[in-house]
Each structure stands twice: as C-alpha cells, then as structure tokens.
A and B are shown apart, each in its own frame.
Chain A
Amino acid sequence: MTMSKRVMALGFAAITTMSVSLPTAAHRAWILPVSTVLSSEDSWVSFDAAISNDIFHPDYHAMGLDGVQVLGPDGQSVPLQNASKGKHRSTFDLNLKARGTYKIYSAGGGLTARWETEEGERRFWPGRGERPDPEKFKTEVPMDAKSLRISQSSRRLETFVTAGGPTDSALKPTGSGLELQPVTHPNDLYAGETATFRFLIDGEPAVGAEVSVIPGGSRYRNSQEEIKLTTDAKGNIAVTWPQAGMYFLEAEYSDDKAKAPATSRRGSYTATFEVLSL
C-alpha cells in the first residue's frame, strides 16, 4: 500500500461512521484532552484530534470531527464547542456543566467483502476510497462469487474526562464491536498503580485481543517503550503505569464468530488516557 493510500484509508476511517479495516500502519488517530481531571464548577476542556506517526504530536493530518460524539454523565449527548479543523490538527472544546465522567468517542463499523470475478480479478466492497452504503451491500456483493469473504469490522476511538468525582454511567458498553469496559475507572489512573481494563466484542469478553500501550512523548526518546499485552480468559488486561503522562492504547481483535453473511469479525479500539502522579 502506498503512503498516500494508507493516509486516505486512515482519514476515511476517522471521519466516517463506516470504515474499511484500519491498515496496520504506523499512523495513528487520536484525540488528546488538555486535561482529564477538573475541579471547578462549569469547567471547560480543550481537545486536539489528529492522525500522526508520533503519538500526540500533530504534524500530519487533522482528524475530521463529524463522527466525534460526547456522552455526558447523565447519559445525554453533549455538543462539541468551537470545533475547528487546521492543517495538522482539529480542535474543539467541551463545557462540563454537570459533575461526573464524559466519554468522547468516534465509532463505526460495517460489512466489508472481497471476492474474485470469473476472470480472476479481485473485487472489494466497498471499493477503495468509496463511502460504503450498507443498503447497497446486498445488491453490489455477488453472494455466489468465487472466494467470497465477508467480514464484520468495527472501530472505536475514545477518551475520557471527569469533573469532580468519577462516575460510570457514560462508560456502559453498547454491546457492538470491540469496546473497553473499565474495571479501573479511566480517570482514576496513577503512576505505579495497576489498572484493569476488560475488552468486549459484541458485548462478550474479547479473549486473546492484542493490546499495546504506549506513553506519549515518544519523539523525545529512542524507543516506543510499548507495553504489549494480551487479554485473558475474561477479556482483561492489567497495566502498571510506569510514570505519569498521557498514554495511547490500541487493541485489535479478530475471530470467525461473525453473524451471517459475515464469516469473520474484526475490531479495533484505541483510546487516550492520562496517568497522574500522587
């Protein structure tokens, strides 16, 4: 895959609610809150959203904000304020009017298919760079085609901020795609402590998901200092935070337990966490 196609695929995944599978490129989509723990009444938080090689270093592509949503502590949707797309990053603000935890997320998924024509040519649905219309899946994908493989894919990108004490109501899993079900609250992370996160695929424990945790600021050191983990039989990982700072978490899962007509399902989940020192 050429660099430009890779970028297109990533940008596409970030701005639409449907997506083809994320290529395993070094480019990462992320939303970075300026702060995650707030103590004032009626507080405001600013965010950056971008796609880049170096985590949290916006020097490549701004992330489209059309698909970014916010769930407040009362379960209501909260609007983005002052949304703006720059050359290398998008920014927006949130007004935290109520105390509790807010989930900022972008999620999507759908069916993808590939097959071969009778002449042996490879075909994909949706086509490269095309915006998929789920309604057209049945008419555009020949179900009797040679080597037909249909995959159910999901992607989700999240971060969390809390005004006052942490609450759980915004953290409830939707039961669709690969999701994080916090055991340790995502705004209660401290250096030297161990946090437990559970991963779910379509609401069930995602066993054997590959998880990577990378501290921010990688451009100021020689190695990624990546922490690699695999979810256990309950879908859990335990992360001991080496130091305070912002962290990027990336999880990938796949199996063949898809709902028909799909024969495989794939999920990707990424999130930004802030780890504080005590």
Chain B
Amino acid sequence: MFKGVGLSLSLTGLLVSSGVSAQSLTVEMEVPRLDVAEYHRPYVAMWLAAPDNSVAAQLAVLYDLELKDEEGEKWLKDMRQWWRRGGRSLDMPIDGLSGATRGPGKHRFQFDDRVSDLPAGDYRLMVEAAREVGGRELIAIPFQWPPTAPASHAQQGNDELGAVVLELRP
C-alpha cells in the first residue's frame, strides 16, 4: 500500500521533472573569418540578462585557459559589459562555465541545465566578443521564458561576431 503510493508519487515527480528539462535553450554563434595580419580567437561571454540588466544566468565564458599563471584572465575585462554585470565578481576559471576560445566557424552551445531553474519572464541573451589586437562587439537578443512554441531568434554581428541564433524549445 505504502509502496504503491511511493511509486506513484515518484512517477509523478519523474514526469514533471522530465517535462521541465525538455525545455531547451541553444545558442549558435558564428566566429567570422577575418583577413588580418595578426589573428587571435575572440574571447566570448554569453549570459542571460534580466530587464534591470542584472545577470539571470551565466552561460559561458570562452577565453585562453592554456596560458601559464592564468594570464588569459588579463583580458576578461575587455568584455566590458559582461565584466561590469557580474564577471568581475567571479573567480575564474569556473567548471561548467569556462571554456576554450573558438576559431572561425559556427559553434553550438546547449544550455538546458543553466536555464532549468530560470523563473518565467523577459530576458535578453547577451553575447559579447572581444579580440586581442581587434575589436569588441555585443549582441542582445530579447526573448520570453519559458517558450510556448519552438522559436528561433537571430541577429547578425558586424565585426567580431557573425550570426548569433537563439533556439528555444518548450
């Protein structure tokens, strides 16, 4: 009897949690190929911004993790908006957030685990890129969470970023 109740409860819990985790947030980011004499892969920060500009979720920070003495951290501040909105209070590197820089091409990042607890509301996906001996670019894509239907929002960068596509699935 008690076993039966326990089983049905856990089954319900399983269904609910699998329903939540089915929601997905994927970012496809294009790093443009640049014809420059000295090329370094860009540093890129991705986060979700609440309407008051606070960080609702950190998604990824791609920077040079290989340099000795954590010297790659020297340029994290060049992602100015990310640094101000929350990067400066983090002690990098952070497991699950830090990642290696990416070269030219399209790169997909799936962030389901980072948004599983995200409260319903209006957000902006922020993607900020800064390149050594290069420029800096920030792309903001507004969206609503949770998604009610599959959706895709795209914006085209001009300099340091190519197309950035936000894919949402309910």
* Contact between A188 and B84, CB atoms less than 8 A apart: yes
* Contact between A39 and B80, CB atoms less than 8 A apart: no
* Contact between A39 and B73, CB atoms less than 8 A apart: yes
Q: Contact partner of B74 among A39, A276, A277, CB < 8 A?
A: A39
> Hey, which chain B residues are within 8 Å of A165, CB to CB?
88-89
Interface residues of B in 31-90 (CB under 8 A from A): 69-71, 73-77, 80-81, 83-84, 87-89
Q: Contact partner of A40 among B70, B81, B83, B84, CB < 8 A?
A: B70
What is the interface size of chain A, counting residues whose CB is below 8 A from a CB of the partner?
Answer: 16
Smallest CB separation, A244 vs chain B (Å): 9
- The verdict on A43 contacting chain B, using a C-beta distance below 8 Å, is yes
A254 to B14, CA, bound (A): 72
0/1 per residue, A266-278, Cβ < 8 Å to B?
0000000000111
A43 to B89, CA, bound (A): 16
- A sample of 21 cross-chain residue pairs with beta-carbon separation below 8 angstroms, ordered by A number, consists of A37-B77, A37-B83, A37-B88, A39-B74, A39-B83, A39-B88, A40-B70, A40-B71, A41-B69, A41-B70, A41-B73, A42-B69, A164-B88, A164-B89, A166-B88, A276-B80, A276-B84, A277-B80, A278-B80, A278-B81, A278-B84
A37 to B73, CA, bound (A): 13
> Hey, which chain B residues are within 8 Å of A166, CB to CB?
88
A residues adjacent to B (C-beta < 8 A): 37-43, 162, 164-166, 188, 190, 276-278
> Hey, which chain B residues are within 8 Å of A164, CB to CB?
88-89, 91
B residues adjacent to A (C-beta < 8 A): 69-71, 73-77, 80-81, 83-84, 87-89, 91
CB-based nearest A residue for B89: A165
* Contact between A40 and B88, CB atoms less than 8 A apart: no
A111 to B151, CA, bound (A): 72
A contact patch SS: loop
> Hey, which chain B residues are within 8 Å of A40, CB to CB?
70-71, 73-74, 76
A73 to B70, CA, bound (A): 22
Smallest CB separation, A161 vs chain B (Å): 12
Beyond the given A164-B91, A166-B88, please list 19 additional residue pairs across the A-B interface where CB-CB is below 8 A: A37-B77, A37-B83, A37-B88, A38-B74, A38-B77, A39-B73, A39-B74, A39-B75, A39-B76, A39-B77, A39-B83, A39-B87, A40-B70, A40-B74, A40-B76, A43-B74, A164-B88, A165-B89, A277-B80
> Hey, which chain B residues are within 8 Å of A38, CB to CB?
74, 77
Smallest CB separation, B70 vs chain A (Å): 6
Smallest CB separation, B54 vs chain A (Å): 14
Smallest CB separation, B71 vs chain A (Å): 7
A39 to B86, CA, bound (A): 12
A276 to B70, CA, bound (A): 25
> Hey, which chain A residues are within 8 Å of B71, CB to CB?
40
A177 to B110, CA, bound (A): 56
A227 to B85, CA, bound (A): 28
Smallest CB separation, A116 vs chain B (Å): 58
CB-based nearest B residue for A276: B80
CB-based nearest B residue for A278: B81
- Chain B CB within 10 A, most for which of A164, A165, A277: A164
> Hey, which chain A residues are within 8 Å of B89, CB to CB?
164-165
